[in-house]
Structure 1
Amino acid sequence: MSAIPLPAYPPGHTALLFVDPYNDFLAEGGKLWPRVAQVAQSVGLHDNLKRILARVRAAALPVFIVPHHRAEPDDFTGWDHPTPYQLGAARAQVFARGSWGGEWFPDYAPRPGDVIVKEHWGGSGFANTDLDLLLKQRRVSHVILVGLIANTCIESTGRFASELGYHVTLVRDATAAFSAEAMHAAHDINAPAFAHAVLTTDQLLEALGDVKAA
């Protein structure tokens, strides 16, 4: 049993947000896998994502796939001020549309009934997408975030969710980053300012307990 008080996840009002489950992030040979591999392996990322997805699906909780924009060669032509992060991704053609790297990692590919959100251009899965609308139409109040990267898209999406009034849970070993320092900053320094819970996979599975959506 966990030594910390665990949040309650109301059936019918809780959803999993899986951010950026692309080959470029998660597969051997992916463009960004070498940069996240050490941290991902140290926390058991792949096994934890599988465990969480299995529990969430068994509970019939909705899964929202929250994907980053798939790169195209002329994405930022004519833009006034794309960010350095966007320009770097464009140069590398990360998650390039039509490429293997821009396909879903097979173990986490969407299944029938999953919700695929419009692609986000920056860090937040909410900014300029339909995520907030889709969650509200399904009466979701509690969101659990997993995927990549802890200190960029996960943090940005979590912050935005909190600002919009959602109960936000981060799962510290169901994400990764380019360094252990970035993971520490995301979960131990920044998260307490916006997240309602920062759990391990074991704690999350315990908290979900016998939850099952109606």
Structure 2
Amino acid sequence: MSKPNYSKQTTALLFVDPYNDFLSEGGKVWNRIKPIAEEVGLIDNLKAIDGAVRDAGIRVFIAPHRRWEPGDYEDWAHPSPTQLAIVDRHSFARGEWGGEWHPDFAPKHGDVVAKEHWGQSGFANTDLDQQLRQRGITHLIIVGLLANTCIESTARYGMELGYHVTLVRDATAAFTHEMMHAAHELNGPTFAHSILTTAELLDALPATSVKEEANK
């Protein structure tokens, strides 16, 4: 894997699906990922990364899943198993708490929120690629959920489009250890340019503006 070089002009943090249903106590999916999320320190790591990239002047992009509404998939010819599960449990429902942003990861001024993706890739049938390219982004640090579905699909698609892709092992989670293992040990190395821990990523980020001023 190539040595990462995260220029603040060309790097983006891409946060996938930062919804209450995934990341908050009481969320419809949180209990399924909670054991692994707590084991890897997911919330604290996401907070650390979010703060560090902003301090470094790196732009934040959000790739949100479709907020469920009645009738979304019922007459589709080929809804995926995940989409059928969304129909059953109403994950990320529009207008409900579960479909709102986790309060620590809600978009801030200057963040870019791409159009909602219907499946698992943040790029498929959205404007994410255009939003990134128009801002000169070439390197993506991808965090969020789930490791073996939306993160993997988005990262694979990004690689195919020519982006440098970084996965962060402990800034994501999945339903099982086997899924996490597949995401980072089996599948990730076939498409990701870098697979780091949160600590390794923070060490690789450019100096913050405060540090830059202190060194002048």
Question: Normalising to structure 2: TM-score of the pair?
Answer: 0.94
Query: For 1:87-141, what per-residue CA distance to the aligned partner results, in whole angstroms no more than 9, with x for missing partners?
Result: 1111111000000000000011110110011000000000000000000000100
Cα distance change of structure 1 residues 5 and 83 upon mapping to structure 2, 3 Å threshold: closer
Alpha-carbon shift at residue 5 of structure 1 (Å): 7.6
> Letter of the aligned partner of 1:194 in structure 2?
F
Alpha-carbon shift at residue 73 of structure 1 (Å): 1.4
Correspondence 1:195 to 2:182: no
Correspondence 1:180 to 2:171: no
Distance 1:5 1:123 in 2: 26
Alignment of 1:4-15 (within 5 A): 6-15=3-12
Alpha-carbon shift at residue 60 of structure 1 (Å): 1.5
Contact 2:19-2:99 within 8 A present in 1 as well: yes
> Letter of the aligned partner of 2:203 in structure 1?
E
> Letter of the aligned partner of 2:19 in structure 1?
Y
Distance 2:33 2:196 in 1: 20
Alpha-carbon shift at residue 8 of structure 1 (Å): 1.0
Residue 17 (structure 1) aligns with? 14
Query: For 1:20-75, what per-residue CA distance to the aligned partner results, in whole angstroms no more than 9, with x for missing partners?
Result: 00000000000000000000000000110010001111112110011000001110
> Letter of the aligned partner of 1:162 in structure 2?
M
Tell me the secondary structure at the aligned position of residue 160 of structure 1.
helix
Cα distance change of structure 1 residues 67 and 157 upon mapping to structure 2, 3 Å threshold: same
Contact 2:140-2:163 within 8 A present in 1 as well: yes
Alpha-carbon shift at residue 80 of structure 1 (Å): 1.1
> Letter of the aligned partner of 1:121 in structure 2?
W
> Letter of the aligned partner of 1:74 in structure 2?
G
Distance 1:197 1:77 in 2: 39
Question: Normalising to structure 1: TM-score of the pair?
Answer: 0.95
- In angstroms, what is the RMSD of aligned CA positions? 1.3
Distance 1:78 1:172 in 2: 37
Residue 133 (structure 1) aligns with? 130
> Letter of the aligned partner of 1:15 in structure 2?
A
Contact 2:53-2:59 within 8 A present in 1 as well: yes
Match of 1:67 among 60, 64, 68: 64
Aligned length: 209
Residue 207 (structure 2) aligns with? 210
Percent identity between the aligned chains?
62
Correspondence 1:111 to 2:104: no
Contact 1:16-1:143 within 8 A present in 2 as well: yes
Match of 1:89 among 59, 74, 86: 86
Deviating more after overlay: 143-152 vs 4-13: 4-13
> Letter of the aligned partner of 2:32 in structure 1?
R
| 4+ runs deviating over 3 angstroms | none
Residue 162 (structure 1) aligns with? 159
Contact 1:7-1:197 within 8 A present in 2 as well: yes
Alpha-carbon shift at residue 84 of structure 1 (Å): 1.6
Distance 2:74 2:206 in 1: 49
> Letter of the aligned partner of 1:148 in structure 2?
L
Give 5+ residue unaligned stretches, structure 1.
Answer: none
Distance 1:125 1:117 in 2: 8
Contact 1:18-1:145 within 8 A present in 2 as well: yes
Distance 1:74 1:190 in 2: 34
